[in-house]
Amino acid sequence: MTRAKRLSLLTTLLTALYLLVFFQVLAVPLVDESTVQKILPVFPWWILVSFGSYSLWSLGWGLFTFRDCPEAYTGLLGEITRAKMICVHKALPLIDTLFGTSIQASNVTLLFRFPP
């Protein structure tokens, strides 16, 4: 079974279980009914906020440890350099945001051969 199928199956089962408890078809054992009625309506929002927090943390951690992956770092810098060269070769205006200077074709040595 692929990951997508497992995820969709798990999501369907959990959604069905949540709806059965929400509409009081199933009872939650060992929990008072008033507590269930207070917590259950906000449970989907809690899941959404938790997922958003995890996503932001994961993105931030990836940015924080970016230089810990030297091959990815050099590969990305090489792609940025190639993109700048392509823009210069096609005479597109390009501003270097790091130094705030304009890059012209006359002061850049083209390191790659581009198709006409």
pLDDT digits (tens, 9 = 90+) for 33-77: 999 999 999 999 999 999 999 999 999 998 888 766 788 788 888
| Amino acid 81: pLDDT | 86
3-state secondary structure of 36: helix
* pTM listed for this prediction: 0.51
User: How many secondary structure helices (H) and strands (E) does the chain include?
Assistant: 4, 2
Pick from 43, 45, 35: which is nearest to 19 by CA? Answer: 43
Mean pLDDT of the chain: 81
H/E run at residue 96 = strand 95-96
| Amino acid 44: pLDDT | 94
Is 94 within 8 Å of 88 (Cβ atoms)? yes
| Amino acid 96: pLDDT | 56
Identity of the highest mean pLDDT range in 9-13, 35-39, 104-108: 9-13
